[in-house]
Structure 1
Amino acid sequence: MVFFLRGGGPPQELRQSRILLGTVVEISVWEDAEGLAREAVQAAFAEMARIEALMSPHVPDSDVARLSRAAEGLEVAPETAAVLALGLDIARRSDGAFDLTLARLKELWDLEAQNPRVPRSEELAAALEGIGPQALRLEGTRVYKAHPTLAVDLGGIAKGYAVDRAASVLEQAGIADASINAGGDLRLLGRRGERPWRIGIRHPRDAEEILTILDVSDRAVVTSGDYERFFEKDGQRYHHIFDPRTGFPSTATQSVTLVADSAMLADALATAVFVLGPRQGLEFLAAFPQAEALVVDADGQVHATAGMAELQR
């Protein structure tokens, strides 16, 4: 979770929010011409709704829902193919720590249930059978599945793509300074008045404590944490970021904050680093020189890339 640290003063800041992509999306525009800003913000929301209709597993005729129902594969929209391509690339480069094929596993855990439970070992084994980046093949805009029951979930990357698309809509409308926040996936354009956008990163074990403050312009910031959706049983926390190698929630990390040039990339990298843990995760990030990360491990110790210090206040 992130907090905007706000200050007063002109020009006027316009803020609007909508429920999209299963979360609250807030767009803030730092702009004198309020009429232009309102129109641009509405267009940005409409673009995010379009991406949701295209890639949400909960929309029956979306590319993702149709692909999960398909026996072998099908043709998808070029945008969906591009998101799949990046997701599969990150999945392979992270040795499967980021995975687009965990839909059945997420259904099994069902963290939204009134009384969630820990699945039995045989249930987990069945949900993990045949998953991984090798189970999907992309040829142009046609996607092939290794077996009929494979289900796809772009939740770890499509929200970031929608945020990036909204940012593009704002830029095309002439908006230079704005922020888009989709449940912790942030894209920050320009500045907030006389200074960069100031982002407070919450402590993963204390919602009232700010772990650090980042000054960011023209980049994306994504935070993934084990405090977002979870239940506890017998003193163990079971959250929504699953390790594809075990079928259980990853235990190496409490939270990851990832800064990158796009929200889509930051979204995928944050999940991969969370699952890999601080040591392997930061080693993995060395292949992405445009990305910076701050990782809180299972013991509450903070690890960070060298470049993160330049963003911290």
Structure 2
Amino acid sequence: MSFHDRSSELSRINALAAGATMSVSPWTWQVLTLAQELHAVTGGRFECGVGARLVRWGMLPDHGHVTPDSGSMTDLVLLANHGVQALRPVCLDLGGLAKGFAVDKAVEALTASGIMRGVVNAGGDLRVLGDAPQPIHVRDGSERRQPRYLGELAGGAMATSASYPAGQANPTGMDGVLVNPFSQRPIHGDTRYTVLAPTCAVADGLTKALAVEGHLAPDCLARYSALALVA
């Protein structure tokens, strides 16, 4: 699911011609399925089809997949037996979802090994396994070095995404810029968007949708038993 790897399944999807199909692994299929679901539930605020924009901004490598009409998440059709079809060329970036999914898979591996309690922390994406409450923090937007205590979390996940002031889109050299899928512009403002949810993949994806307008519809949050915080 790496955009950076030319041979990844995601890169192969992004290289598909209009109407072409391919098969993907079950895990990639699960992430794409959740991506389309979140796109629909959030009214398009969660959108993986921003890869072309990030390539043009120099935030992602150019593998030659960017076209003037690169489509959105809705231009990818999920077929039976883990097949996918591009209705038109797409340039998807799964960076807003795949790390949370990886955290969930790590928790599944712990559970399968008989581990009853633990924490998987992937930096911005965290999940607590078991009923022992763990303190959770998020960096304060007004003072980057001072984490803000949010409370305790047990048997659930949290994810945080951040926007940055204009002219400072990528200060760490590691995190990608947040994109407003409607305006196709960067989301600026020294703000942290945090979502707590039962799974990390859902929390991860909803932070990107939350960043678009600073809020999510109550029915969207209720659907996933999620809470949102903007700070």
CA distance 1:56–1:226, shift in 2 (3 Å): same
Matching of residue 180 in structure 1 with residue 120 in structure 2:
yes
Following the alignment from structure 2 to structure 1, what is the Cα–Cα distance between the partners of residues 195 and 12?
Answer: 31
Q: Aligned-pair RMSD on alpha carbons?
A: 2.4
Q: Counterparts of 1:124-203 in structure 2 under 5 Å?
A: 129-140=69-80, 141-148=82-89, 150-190=90-130, 196-203=133-140
Following the alignment from structure 1 to structure 2, what is the Cα–Cα distance between the partners of residues 96 and 128?
Answer: 20
Following the alignment from structure 1 to structure 2, what is the Cα–Cα distance between the partners of residues 83 and 105?
Answer: 21
The aligned amino acid for 1:143 is V
The aligned amino acid for 1:147 is R
CA distance 1:129–1:60, shift in 2 (3 Å): closer
Instruction: Please say if residues 83 and 157 of structure 1, whose CA atoms lie closer than 8 Å, have aligned partners that are also in contact.
Output: yes
Following the alignment from structure 2 to structure 1, what is the Cα–Cα distance between the partners of residues 67 and 190?
Answer: 23
Following the alignment from structure 2 to structure 1, what is the Cα–Cα distance between the partners of residues 190 and 205?
Answer: 16
Which residue of structure 2 aligns with residue 106 of structure 1?
54
CA distance 1:293–1:253, shift in 2 (3 Å): farther
State the 1:288 CA deviation: 2.2
Unaligned stretches of 5+ residues in structure 1: 1-54, 114-125, 297-313
State the 1:160 CA deviation: 0.8
Which residue of structure 1 aligns with residue 158 of structure 2?
221
Output one character per residue of 1:241-269: Cα deviation in whole Å (capped at 9) or x when no partner. 10011111124781211111111111111
Instruction: Please say if residues 253 and 274 of structure 1, whose CA atoms lie closer than 8 Å, have aligned partners that are also in contact.
Output: no
Following the alignment from structure 1 to structure 2, what is the Cα–Cα distance between the partners of residues 179 and 185?
Answer: 11
Instruction: Please say if residues 252 and 277 of structure 1, whose CA atoms lie closer than 8 Å, have aligned partners that are also in contact.
Output: no
Following the alignment from structure 1 to structure 2, what is the Cα–Cα distance between the partners of residues 276 and 252?
Answer: 12
The sequence identity of aligned pairs, in percent, is 29
Which residue of structure 1 aligns with residue 230 of structure 2?
295
Q: Secondary structure at the match of 1:169?
A: helix
Instruction: Please say if residues 70 and 91 of structure 2, whose CA atoms lie closer than 8 Å, have aligned partners that are also in contact.
Output: no
Instruction: Please say if residues 252 and 276 of structure 1, whose CA atoms lie closer than 8 Å, have aligned partners that are also in contact.
Output: no
Output one character per residue of 1:71-97: Cα deviation in whole Å (capped at 9) or x when no partner. 233111122111101101111221211
Output one character per residue of 1:176-211: Cα deviation in whole Å (capped at 9) or x when no partner. 2211111210011125xxx51101122113112233
Which residue of structure 2 aligns with residue 89 of structure 1?
37
Instruction: Please say if residues 4 and 60 of structure 2, whose CA atoms lie closer than 8 Å, have aligned partners that are also in contact.
Output: no
Instruction: Please say if residues 128 and 247 of structure 1, whose CA atoms lie closer than 8 Å, have aligned partners that are also in contact.
Output: no
Unaligned stretches of 5+ residues in structure 2: 171-176
Instruction: Please say if residues 226 and 255 of structure 1, whose CA atoms lie closer than 8 Å, have aligned partners that are also in contact.
Output: yes
State the 1:112 CA deviation: 7.5
Following the alignment from structure 2 to structure 1, what is the Cα–Cα distance between the partners of residues 40 and 84?
Answer: 16
Scaled by the length of structure 2, the TM-score of the pair is 0.85
CA distance 1:166–1:247, shift in 2 (3 Å): same
Which residue of structure 2 aligns with residue 250 of structure 1?
187
The aligned amino acid for 1:93 is V
Following the alignment from structure 1 to structure 2, what is the Cα–Cα distance between the partners of residues 64 and 187?
Answer: 25
